[in-house]
Chains A and B, each alone.
Chain A
Amino acid sequence: MKKTHSEHTLSNGLKVLLKEIHTAPLVSSWVWYRVGSRDETSGRTGISHWVEHMQFKGTPQFPASSLDRDISRDGGIWNAFTFMDWTAYLETMPADKIDLGLRLEADRMSNSLFEEKEVASERTVVISEREGNENEPLFLLGEAVQQAAFRVHPYHHEIIGDLVDLKSMSRDDLYQHYRTYYLPNNAIIGVAGDFKTSQMLARIRELFEPIPAGTLPAHLARPEPAAKGEHWLTVEGPGETTFLDISYHAPAGNDPDFFVLTVLDSLLAGPSGLSIFGGGGLSNKTSRLYRALVEKELAVGVGGSTLTTVDPYLYSISITVHPDRKPDQVLSAFDAEVKRIQGEPVTAEEISRAIKQARALFAYQSENITSQASWLGHAEMFANYDWFLTYLDKLSKVTPADIQTAAQKYLRSQNRVVGTYIPNGAEVQA
């Protein structure tokens, strides 16, 4: 990466990362808070995500009715995401209009209203979001696998939360969560695009520096004990299709092993894109698992997923079972591939192929200012921006021996949960 960026910390602790990109008359601004579903206890699951929804419900200065109108009038996009470790808010706007996005974010860092009637109406919206998720077999399976993998660590529940908590949490619970975590000393703003750094920094100071810092609670410190054996589970539900979710405990995003796992995943299941939105746009038809499972007509699709989390999370492989096959046949073939990569070193050529793929994906995402801006803050959430800048270099240093060691260390059956979605074959009637 030749393009430079700059880093600053305001007196109230807000960290600011700025990167000028003058290829299009656009600016993308992201505000990140270090709060997510990992900060939730039983009875409060889903609260971070619900708070994110409430952030669109207005402040005295920007009432709910005018918020989206003001942004949309200017041709901007805005959105927000809640993850296990963080919550992020973004605006991408024409360069001369970004001030509105900055003012809005400064305002809703502390002034959101959380009105009772808005909480009531959003309760059913969030429940509806959960019901939509529950329509998907892979959501149901993933939720069960995650729960089985984390008995102690708060990564055990889905970000959307459990229905019982969504029904019972109150306005005061939500507001308290908001006021506890939405503090400048718990936040980062990353802005990329068509601006002058000195001007942008001055404006951010003006808008955000008056917001007082606060006292932050410590994150829940409940590390997951090492798994003591393989977990098996099944989920039954409608449909005709069987799915497998094989999830291994995996290193955190800032662990050096994460880069090894990224290359390992690329060889096993195909390259993953460099986007927090997921998806990479590359096919995986020459990956080892595609050849062993799909080309052998044991499965009709396979994919791998790694996540850059603060604490160790999961490396998950998701398989859509061929309609004529049984899941145990698929699992045997899968295990044979795992054994192969544990037993025989991969070739240097395979690694350099994975590096070229990563280089291409890196170039594609750089076309997009929203994506470029996202990395300023996203990398800071689990490591620092240097993680992103040195990403390709770190991948390039992975050796065949590293891959073999990581496969032996992480891809052990004692370190995994095997989940199977069993369709109950309910008849579909027109």
Chain B
Amino acid sequence: MSNRQQSFPGPDDITRITIPNGITILVRANFNSPSVVIGGHLACGSLFDTDEKSGLADFTASGLMRGTETRTFQQIFDALESVGAAMSFGAGAHNTGFSGRSLIEDLPLMLDLLADVLRHPVFPAEQIERLRAQFLTNLAQRAQDTAEMASITFDQIVFKGHPYARPEDGWPETIRAIQRDDLADFHQRCFGPRGMVIALVGAIEPKTAIDQVIEALGDWANVAQMSLPALPPHKPLKKVVTRRYKIPGKSQADLVIGASGPYRKDPEYIADTLGNSVLGQFGLGGRIGKVVREKSGLAYYASSSLNAGIGPGSWAVSAGVNPANVQKARDLICEEIARFVEKGVTPEELADSQSNFIGRLPLSLESNSGVASALLNIELYDLGLDYYRRYPAMVGAVTREQVLTAVRKYLDPERLAIAIAGP
């Protein structure tokens, strides 16, 4: 059998370096498959967006691969697809992320393309119009998707007046308002090497990988690169706020019920995730799954999720139910949240989730893409290169009292956001 500890990334097998222009490179070798995964992000995102042009950061990210000074859209994708490689970009609030994979023999090509689209995109007008039509179609489909609209409505309640209330992909009217020059201007102001992180995991020696990244991106500079605006303060809800988004003709409604959540860097984050596991993750959806699906047969999916990032996160229960059962499901979920906040988790429940978190680690770190996202987490949230080696002990040390304190800090049955989308 393999030695389990050996499979977790740690300081002895992660190579990390920050090069003079500000790019941090993380590499871990894995020679089990002749392939490589690239992941990373740049320090620009939708926090730069305005209400009138929300979606600009994401539009720009998608526009990067539509043509450069020396390559057309078809040439870029011909290079990638000819070798079975993939690369894509997308924007979040704080970051523009990228990911890609290829056979290891094609890594130099991947880095050359990555550098070219990051440094020399030209946003051809014709391509941008084509992209706009695709975005507008996606938004028309989003408007028909009960789960997506419930989630957007939830964010609008929880983050009212805060940039997190804006969906990253914007709205039809804002996507129509964005001009081709807005993309070029956004790229000029916001894209640069400072704060960029790139992780490579695959069949390559770390030194070779780092040399290749330096070759492609080491001389990138942008003196105009702006820093992200500071995040405005977020005010938690003071009462229960319910909002419905009507989508006629649908067979199923979606509910999202919850509140804002922790920052990823909060010390109680692991206690929160254990609490979330008990509430709506463990097994087939924790307590929520038991009550809403197993006992009442109300929904095919019912669970809770905790999203934590650089700023305030969200903690929410979601379920898809027959429109006639919305009220019943809402009451059950609210009762379950109230019970959870009042009594916390039992010793058995905590032990179960602790055991699950520790036991599933090898599976989450099995593939190159799993390791790449672990490396990016380490970097983005300052977790330390030994984080995944320390993680089992940190999880094991959490007590019921810590979970209860952490849960009560965010979830309050008197201050919940309730979003419903459906017919």
Contacts and interface: CB of A to CB of B under 8 A. Distances in A.
Interface string B309-341: 000000000001110000000000000000000
A357 B367 CA distance: 19
Contacts of A23: 2, 32
A367 B7 CA distance: 14
A132 B254 CA distance: 9
A356 B83 contact: yes
B2 A359 contact: no
Interface string A84-103: 00000000111111000000
Given A26-B366, A77-B363, A295-B130, A125 B297 contact: yes
B321 A285 contact: no
B60 interface: no
Given A128-B320, A239-B144, A69 B363 contact: no
Given A128-B321, A285-B73, A323 B137 contact: yes
A200 interface: no
Contact of B245 (A75, A270, A430): A430
A366 B33 contact: yes
A68 interface: yes
A128 B322 CA distance: 6
Interface stretch (A7-15, A276-284, A338-346): A276-284
Interface in A286-310: 286, 291, 294-295, 297, 300-301
A64 B355 contact: no
B7 A24 contact: yes
B307 interface: no
A412 B143 CA distance: 36
Contacts, number: 213
Interface stretch (A40-48, A116-124, A147-155): A116-124
Contacts of B130: 294-295, 297
A185 B394 CA distance: 47
Contact of A426 (B35, B146, B248): B248
Given A26-B366, A75-B361, A283 B1 contact: no
Contacts of B146: 135
A241 interface: yes
Nearest to A97: B359
B250 A75 contact: no
A131 B83 contact: no
A124 B328 CA distance: 14
A24 B294 contact: no
Interface string B409-423: 000000000000000
In this complex, the member of A135, A358, A427 whose beta carbon has the largest number of chain B beta carbons within 10 angstroms is A135
A207 B166 CA distance: 55
A372 to B, nearest CB: 11
B184 interface: no
Contacts of A368: 366-367
B322 A131 contact: yes
Interface string B349-371: 00010011111111100111000
Nearest to A285: B77
Contacts of A77: 360, 363
A135 B359 contact: no
A348 interface: no
Interface in B1-32: 1-4, 7, 32
Contact of B251 (A131, A357, A363, A364): A131
A428 B1 CA distance: 57
Contact of A92 (B3, B248, B363): B363
B384 interface: no
A215 B283 CA distance: 35
B252 A121 contact: no
Interface residues of A, number: 81
A360 interface: yes
A283 to B, nearest CB: 6
A129 interface: yes
Interface in A349-400: 353, 356-361, 363-364, 366-369
Given A281-B86, A282-B86, A367 B366 contact: yes
B209 to A, nearest CB: 17
A15 B146 CA distance: 44
Interface stretch (B48-56, B211-219, B224-232, B298-306): B298-306
Contacts of A239: 140-141, 144
Contacts of A75: 355-363
A190 interface: no
Contacts of A369: 366
Nearest to B284: A68
A359 B355 contact: no
In this complex, the member of B7, B298, B361, B367 whose beta carbon has the largest number of chain A beta carbons within 10 angstroms is B367
B64 interface: no
A424 B249 contact: yes
In this complex, the member of A121, A300, A366 whose beta carbon has the largest number of chain B beta carbons within 10 angstroms is A300
A54 B206 CA distance: 49
Given A125-B299, A358-B84, A25 B73 contact: no
B396 interface: no
Contacts of B296: 121
Contacts of A124: 297-298
B399 interface: no
A228 interface: no
A26 B81 contact: no
B242 interface: no
Interface in A56-83: 56, 64, 68-69, 71-77
B246 A429 contact: yes
Interface in B397-417: none
Interface string B77-96: 11011111110100000000
A161 interface: no
B222 interface: no
B362 A24 contact: yes
A25 B101 contact: no
Contacts of B88: 283
A22 interface: yes
A126 interface: yes
B297 A69 contact: no
A325 B158 CA distance: 39
Given A56-B284, A300-B137, A364-B101, A285 B360 contact: no
B143 A131 contact: no
B81 A132 contact: no
B133 A128 contact: no
Q: Which 9 pairs show the lowest CB-CB distances between chains A and B?
A: A75-B359, A360-B84, A68-B283, A238-B249, A121-B297, A124-B297, A129-B300, A75-B360, A357-B84
Given A125-B300, A238-B247, A238-B249, 5 more contacts: A25-B3, A76-B360, A93-B359, A300-B137, A360-B84
Interface of B: 1-4, 7, 32-35, 73-74, 77-78, 80-86, 88, 101-103, 130, 133-134, 136-138, 140-141, 143-146, 245-252, 282-284, 293-301, 320-322, 352, 355-363, 366-368
17 contacts: A22-B1, A24-B366, A25-B4, A75-B360, A120-B297, A121-B294, A125-B298, A127-B322, A134-B251, A241-B144, A270-B81, A283-B81, A286-B82, A323-B133, A368-B367, A426-B248, A427-B248
